[in-house]
């Protein structure tokens, strides 16, 4: 199994090189040269750990099988607070796939508990004497998940950039209170796109600008090692539905995914291409509807105001992983993808051709909802079904309406614990919000009868690491300065 760049420059690389590089040298993103047939994984009895190990082996066959099994077990055996890891919960006319039972209570844990283990194996095999600085931009959840995943991992340090005023108080606390000397989070006076642009600019630095022996890699979803573990829970959901009788022979499963950087939903696309019974993939957007607009119109236009919403992980105008879908929609025409990405960078927009959009719409649909609609959905679902959703999940719950008339079971991906967004939940349920962050979690539990996740309970009691926020154009200089301490 080798990996190709979506922009076509350079020879295919091994899995280990793709993982350590993060992004391709030509600015593109890595995709598998071929996709394995994973349909056999629908059969037999498998634990989540066994299923994950089988997927890892299919995509990373050049790694030792026993090492991949160990990686799966250490990632998912004890780090999650539910025995099914990603349980399916029936709510109304759909199922909700809970992806928030990991150590930072968000779906990013599903990948970022495995990625450090992949990178550790790759480093040991290919570059054991280098120290890697894991650069990460976050719109809320990736930062704490990356910091937690790489905490005290030998040979790696993590530097996270987040929008200072664009994440929830709990999300910020998870990053600024994370213990460990090899992880740091820095706020920027801008939005997620600014943070992502700064990190991408840092990756374009000349290696001579970094200390000897220090190299950069990424924990963002531009790294193929983020996407492969996410395929697992799509397969696991199909298996759970099949075993329960909710998925009948000849049926497929429609998935509705709250989408920002497009990695989560693209993993579902890879699962489908690898033989899973995946039907439609519905891209759910908030008021920042650039993705939903693209799927409906074929025009990707980032030349618009970025709104700060109650679902900050979706407050994105430049969705990196969409480039991977464009590559498949263009049937591997890397020159076409390069042209579209160049136009996006230079002009802020592009239009995909009719053939590409026909292929995309064969697999994808889209919808968006604003904050008011999301709050109403949180309130209605809680009082009607006694189920508590966070704002991202609520947006997806509303988007499932585009599937009306289809006979497939519908699964809504729940990407974060509602306790990460207490301000939104209190507003939805028409209750006053306590000022103290710790008290907010306790009060929310008392109000709803839902226990506070232990992972959030523990982090709120840790001391905060105070780092002054920087300007949006200071990211590269900040990376250079902090790199000196980890060389």
Q: Active-site residue 108, yes or no?
A: yes
What is the torsional sign of CA 427, 429, 430, 433?
negative
Residue 161, burial from CB neighbour count under 10 angstroms (0-12, 13-18, 19+): buried
Q: Which of 9, 25, 45, 108 is the catalytic position? A: 108
Which three-class secondary structure state does DSSP give residue 219?
Answer: coil
The full length of the chain comes to: 487
Look at phi and psi of residue 227 and say left if phi exceeds 0, alpha if psi is from -120 to 50, else beta.
alpha
Residue 387, φ and ψ in degrees, nearest 5:
-125, 130
What is the torsional sign of CA 44, 45, 50, 51?
positive
CA separation, residue 26 to residues 5, 91, 207 (Å)? 8, 45, 15
Query: Partners of 366 in the beta sheet?
Result: 283
Q: What is the CA radius of gyration of the chain?
A: 21
Calculate the CA 320 to chain-centre distance: 11
- 356-359: long-range pairs with CB below 8 Å, 24+: 356/298, 356/326, 356/329, 356/330, 357/298, 357/329, 359/328, 359/329, 359/331
Do residues 150 and 182 lie in contact, with contact meaning Cβ atoms separated by under 8 Å? yes
Closest CA to 192 of 163, 228, 216, 231: 163
Q: Which residues are catalytic?
A: 108
């Amino acid at each position: 199994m080798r990996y190709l760049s979506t922009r076509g420059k350079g020879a295919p690389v091994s899995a280990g090189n793709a993982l350590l590089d993060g992004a391709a040298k030509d600015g593109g993103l890595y995709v598998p040269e071929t996709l394995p047939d994973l349909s056999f994984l629908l059969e037999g009895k498998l634990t989540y750990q066994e299923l994950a190990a089988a997927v890892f082996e299919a995509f990373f066959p050049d790694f030792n099988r026993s090492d991949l099994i160990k990686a799966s077990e250490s990632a998912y055996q004890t780090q999650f607070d539910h025995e099914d890891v990603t349980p399916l919960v029936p709510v109304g006319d759909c199922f909700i796939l809970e992806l928030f039972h990991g150590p930072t209570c968000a779906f990013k844990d599903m990948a970022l508990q495995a990625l450090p283990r992949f990178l550790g194996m790759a480093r040991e095999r290919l570059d054991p004497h280098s120290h890697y600085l894991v650069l990460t931009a976050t719109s809320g959840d990736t930062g704490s998940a990356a910091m937690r995943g790489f905490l005290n991992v030998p040979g790696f340090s993590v530097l996270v950039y987040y929008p200072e005023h664009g994440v929830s108080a709990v999300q910020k606390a998870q990053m600024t209170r994370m213990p460990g000397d090899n992880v740091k989070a820095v706020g920027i006076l801008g939005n997620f796109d600014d943070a992502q642009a700064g990190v991408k600019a840092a990756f374009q630095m000349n290696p001579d600008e970094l200390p000897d022996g220090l190299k950069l890699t990424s924990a963002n979803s531009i790294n193929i090692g983020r996407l492969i573990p996410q395929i697992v829970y799509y397969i696991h959901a199909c298996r759970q539905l099949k075993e329960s009788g909710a998925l009948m022979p000849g049926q497929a499963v429609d998935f509705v995914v709250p989408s920002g950087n497009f990695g989560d939903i693209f993993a579902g696309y890879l699962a489908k291409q690898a033989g899973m019974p995946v039907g439609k993939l519905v891209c759910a957007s908030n008021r920042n509807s650039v993705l939903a607009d693209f799927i409906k119109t074929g025009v990707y236009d980032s030349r618009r105001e970025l709104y700060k919403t109650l679902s900050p992980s979706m407050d994105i105008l430049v969705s990196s992983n969409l480039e991977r879908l464009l590559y498949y929609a263009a049937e591997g025409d890397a020159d076409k993808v390069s042209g579209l990405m160049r136009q996006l960078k230079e002009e802020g927009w592009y239009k995909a051709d009719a053939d590409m959009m026909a292929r995309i719409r064969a697999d994808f649909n889209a919808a968006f909802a604003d904050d008011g609609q999301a709050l109403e959905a949180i309130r209605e679902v809680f009082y009607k079904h006694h189920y508590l959703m966070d704002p991202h999940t609520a947006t997806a719950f509303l988007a499932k309406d585009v599937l009306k008339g289809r006979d497939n079971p519908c699964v809504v991906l729940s990407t974060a614990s509602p306790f990460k967004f207490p301000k939104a939940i209190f507003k939805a349920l028409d209750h006053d919000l306590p000022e103290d962050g710790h008290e907010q979690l306790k009060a929310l539990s008392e109000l709803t009868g839902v226990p506070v996740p232990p992972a959030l309970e523990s982090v709120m009691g840790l001391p905060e690491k105070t780092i002054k926020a920087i300007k949006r154009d200071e990211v590269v200089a900040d990376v250079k300065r902090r790199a000196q301490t980890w060389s």
